[in-house]
Structure 1
Amino acid sequence: MPQRFAVYYAPAVTDLLWDRAAIWLGRDPATGQSHDGAVAGIERTRLLNLTQSAGRYGFHATLKAPMALAEGQTEAALRAAMQRVAAELPPVPLGKLTIANLDGFLALVPEEADNPQILDFAASVVEAFEPFRAPLNPRDRAARATANLTPRQEELLDAYGYPYVFDQFLFHMTLTDRLAGADHADLLRAAQTWFGPVLDEPVTIDRLSLYHEQENQLPFRRIADFGLEG
């Protein structure tokens, strides 16, 4: 499987939210550093087992989902395009974040649910980098075509390689894999304890972050950031 790239939002690596998320997930995608030890009363092995996928992708909010590059496109061209796009797009205030349950997943989402500016921004990013996306192969499409997709989401999956774009977009920063029962209750309490001290400050989307999966199933690395200057 070819390498993949993703255009995400992630806080600055000096931000306390980034630091706490890296410790929670057990890995810093920017440095590759691993973190051991319990977090908010949850033993590390248990936490790793319940955050495997979230940890592999790294802390982020998806803007342009992971994609293999289209024929003729290169990482250098993608970086140059991100620089151009970031120079044109203005920062987007999100307000404060809160911990939410998204179909069994714990994630950070804006307290203010309705923000057209976020939707417009995310749509602009999806469109801007669509020329870099190779079509999904059948296996990747099957992996993203979950049973509960709506007809609209199926349409978007076929058109853009990802079902949660445009009117289906929800800004979120995933903290766990899908949880149930005691795992959900325990990790919700732990996440509220662990992230609570850094959720008082409002957040602004102020950059585009480039993430890279070198080979299939390897952890994503955060390899570049482009500040928004529009």
Structure 2
Amino acid sequence: MKSIVILVSGRGSNMEAIVRADIPGARIAAVISNRPDAAGLSFAAARGIHTVALDHKAFADRAAFDAALAEAIDAFEPDLVVLAGFMRVLTDDFVRRYDGRLLNIHPSLLPSFPGLHTHRRALEAGVRLHGATVHFVTPTLDCGPIVLQAAVSVRPGDDEAALAARVLEQEHRIYPQAVRWFVDGRLRLDAAGRVMVDGGEFSAPAAVVPAIDEVMS
């Protein structure tokens, strides 16, 4: 049984997707938030998952918060730490502490559009494909080794909300899949820091692309 700690800052819809996936061999040990009023904490508590609220505003600086966060995480002895809408830039020391077992999902096809406001920037750039990326976290923001990607078409008339909604649907598909690979022992980083997925129908990094009729619609 693999123990998983999930970090959220709000609703945590990707956390919900992972919990609802009921991945064999996985135990969601805790959901932790930097915001005590995060809706994701209520969702987790209602399902009997341990929750921790650790208000980042109560700490003198980022390093102090990250130290307390690491202590809270380590109390659950996780095999994997999952960022699911956790809206904090983590210190290098924190990231290195969980090297090879810290996953994030980003709402773009990395390396395009790292950082914030990805859907707006995609529309402004005029791209025809947008999407989401699951990746291992490294000290450089949104630049870690890519595990899995899903693409959606950018349609005429799309605004940020419409595009974001379609991307979020794909996030809910691929994040549980990546976690499942890790739990199954299939997902790993090789000696060169490259993502490997052993066995099965995928090799990594793998792109899950929508059907051609969606792309061409």
- Whether TM exceeds 0.5 here: the answer is no
Tell me the TM-score range normalised by the shorter chain.
Answer: under 0.3
- Kindly indicate whether structure 1 or structure 2 has the higher relative contact order, using CA contacts under 8 Å at least 6 residues apart: 1
Normalising by structure 1, what TM-score?
Answer: 0.27
Normalising by structure 2, what TM-score?
Answer: 0.28
